Each structure stands twice: as structure tokens, then as C-alpha cells.
Amino acid sequence: MKLSKRVLEMQESVTLATAARAKTLKAQGRDILSLTLGEPDFPTPKNIQEAAVAAIEDGKASFYTVTSGLPELKAAVVEYFAKHYGYRIQPNQVTVATGAKFSLYTFFMSVLDPGDEALIPTPYWVSYGDQIKMAEGIPVFVQATEENDFKISVEQLEAARTDKTKVLVLNSPSNPTGMIYTADELLAIGNWALKHDIMILADDIYGRLVYNGNTFTPISSLSEEIRKQTVVINGVSKSYSMTGWRIGYAVGEPEIIAAMSKIAGQTTSNPTTVAQYAAIEALTGSQDTVENMRLAFEERLNTIYPLLAQVPGFEVVKPQGAFYFFPNVKKAMEMKGYTDVTAFTTAILEEVGVALVTGDGFGAPENVRLSYATDLDTLKEAIRRLKDFMEK
Ligand SMILES: Cc1ncc(COP(=O)(O)O)c(C=O)c1O
């Protein structure tokens, strides 16, 4: 069989691939601690589960909904924005999708023509580049470094801009670095994008998961003009521990939102009906569990960060949000005689049974990603083993 050029050129999601490898070894009876997946380890809160059960029992979950989502869910997003973003949107500015990942895909498919360029601050979340390529756009990577807390500047964006630049992808708090742009930094970036008529794709999925007094500012909240230039991507996966339910959404100007719904209408149709009912409860019900989960992540961050910083050769910037550490392991690799990060993480997995994700899929081949979306005992034991590995 001859597969398409499109799929042959596509990268497999590095996070999903490493997680699968760890699961296989576990199934073979190996003692594996996996710090790979970007998935909260808490069960979906009870009130959300119950709303889903009620929707099934009431016979509401059996049918298609409007492709862009249940009116009640859009209304919940409208209220959520009034509360957390500080501005009012209309229901026709919301389209719900099968996960934020699919919202992102419909965005790129809606705005990019072949050869259009999209700027991606690097390190970046694994799927942006490949989704842009699927839409026949060109990902242009703008390198951020540890010295600048993994944040890019307007000067760097300007240096990367061409007359083909159509989109800027912003993900703050960031997966994988956990860094958050300040309001001032975002305002400068937003005004630069406005000046050059570049659309902003604001992936705000980790906006509720910020720690130690750090705050999340949505770029779309900074001015009316910037808001009109921005499509916000958000969802319930990370803040409500609902990764398996697959509900994300996009908020923007009605024209782009309608275009994104059109693509969903010819691909997935509506996101699963029962999951939409669960998402309504997530957004409108008690928010106590969200805060409890946030506090648990914060405790893990503050406990594990100093331990990780003591692992020989691991150099780590303290994250401000999300739930990942992204240490630079250049020195660690040198100490152990590795030049390639995949060989390095494979050795860690084989010798001490700790699964990490290599940084190359995030555009950072000297880094590894550790997710702290797992319990403290597992995290402490994993760091102990990493230390063992390095000291051997
Ligand atoms: C930065 C970022 N955006 C989007 C997503 C996709 O989230 P969802 O589960 O809603 O598809 C993820 C999930 O890992 C993510 O890390």
C-alpha cells in the first residue's frame, strides 16, 4: 500500500508513544514509574460524573447535537468567560469540539492556505507543528531559551516575520515549560500581532493551573482589538480532570468560529453528547474540586522541584503553571556519555524503570519532560531512581 505523503511526513505524538512504551513494559511485569502523560491523575469530580449519568438516564445522551455544541454548553462558556476572562461573548462566538486538540486542528484548517506561515514559540506543545503541516501551512519555530525563562520577545517575532506570516501560536501557561507570560509581555506581543495583522491562537488550556502566587492573564482580555484578532482554545481536560471525555472549545469572532464548525460538521459532527452534559456541570457546578486539584499540583511542584534540582546534571527552571518539569539534561547526558536524548531516556527506562518524554518532540533536544500529574510517593521514588541512575 502506498500511504499519503501527508501521513508519511507526520510525526507520531512523542508523548503518546513514550506512554505506550511504558505501558507495554508495565504489562510485562516490569516495575515502571511513568511520568509521561499530560493527564491529571484524579478521577473526574463526582458531580460531573453524576450529570453524565443523569443525561443518559433522562434519554438526553442518545442523539446528535448541533455540531458546534449544545446551546446550554455554549451558554456555560459565555458565563465562564464573563467570570474568568472578564469580558462578554455571544453564543455564536463559541464552538465546542472533540477535545481542545481538535479545536486547534479546525483552527489551522480554517485559516491557513498552502505556504502560509505560523510562528511557534519553542519549546512548544507537540501537536502544533504537525497540525499546521496537515493544513499545508509552514511552522516557523522561534527559539526561547532557559535564560529568558523560555519566553520569546517581540524582537524575535519580528525577526521571524515574513509577508507569509498569518498566525502566532501562544501557549501560556506552557506545555512543556510551565512558564507564564506577564500581562505586559502579552500586551507587547498582542500589539505587534495587530500591527502586522497576524492572528493569535491563544491556547489557554492550563489557565486555571497556576501556582505560588503566579497569575494567568488571557491575551484576549487585554484590549478589544487584540480580542478580535485572537481565537482562544480552552477545554475541560486539564482543569477538571476530564481528559477522557474529549471536550474542548474555541472562542473568537463569529466568522472564524463558523468556519471551524463547518470543518467539524464534515469530520466528527458534534462532540459526544453525554460528555457535553458533563462539561456543562464542570463549568457551572461547584469549583471546589478544581481548587483542590490545583493545590495538590502546587504541593507536588514545591516538594519535587528542590529534589529534581539536586539530580546531578539536571538543570531546571521552576515552573509557574501547568504540571510539567522541563529540565535541561545536556550536562547529565555528557556525564553519562550520551549525545542523543532518546538513547539517554531509553537507558533511564531500561535501567531504573522511569519513563520520561524526550524534549525533541517539543523542539528542545537537550531537555526531557517529567509530568507531575501523578502522586507524590511515585514522584519522590522516580526522582530517587533518577539520582541513582546519575550517580551510578
Ligand atoms: C498545550 C495543550 N493544548 C491542547 C491540549 C489538548 O487537550 P485536549 O485533551 O482537550 O484535547 C493539550 C493536551 O495535552 C495541551 O497540552
Q: Are strands 199-203 and 230-235 parallel, antiparallel or unpaired?
A: parallel
The pLDDT score that the predictor gives to residue 132 is 97
Please give the Cα distance from 124 to 120 (Å, whole number): 7
Residues 6+ apart with CB under 8 A from 328: 146, 314, 315, 316, 366, 367
Ligand 1 mutation target, pool 101, 201, 234, most atoms within 8 A of CB: 101
Say if CB 112 and CB 166 are below 8 A apart: yes
Ligand 1 mutation target, pool 18, 77, 104, 125, most atoms within 8 A of CB: 125
pLDDT higher than threshold 90 for residue 155: yes
Say if CB 77 and CB 307 are below 8 A apart: no
Give the position of cell 536524548. 341
Name the grid cell of 38.
499530560
The pLDDT score that the predictor gives to residue 37 is 82
pLDDT tens per residue across span 64-110:
999 999 999 999 999 999 999 999 999 999 999 999 999 999 999 99
Q: What is the mean pLDDT of residues 21-35?
A: 90
Please give the Cα distance from 282 to 382 (Å, whole number): 32
Confidence of residue 23 (pLDDT cuts 50, 70, 90): confident
Q: How many whole angstroms from 101 Cα to the centroid of ligand 1?
A: 6
Q: How many whole angstroms from 205 Cα to the centroid of ligand 1?
A: 7
Q: What is the mean pLDDT of residues 151-168?
A: 98
Q: Is the CB of residue 101 below 6 angstroms from any atom belonging to ligand 1?
A: yes
Q: What is the pTM of this model?
A: 0.96
Q: How many whole angstroms from 321 Cα to the centroid of ligand 1?
A: 14
The pLDDT score that the predictor gives to residue 18 is 76
The reply to whether omega before 123 is within 30° of 0 (cis) is yes
What residue type is assigned to position 199 of the chain? M
Q: Is the CB of residue 205 below 6 angstroms from any atom belonging to ligand 1?
A: yes
Largest CA distance in the chain: 62
pLDDT tens per residue across span 280-319:
999 999 999 999 999 999 999 999 999 999 999 999 999 9
What is the percent of the chain with per-residue pLDDT over 70, rounded to a whole number? Answer: 99
Q: What is the mean pLDDT of residues 17-37?
A: 87
Please give the Cα distance from 253 to 94 (Å, whole number): 9
Give the position of cell 481528559. 243
| Averaged pLDDT of the chain | 96
End-to-end CA distance of the chain: 47
pLDDT higher than threshold 80 for residue 12: no
Q: How many whole angstroms from 323 Cα to the centroid of ligand 1?
A: 12
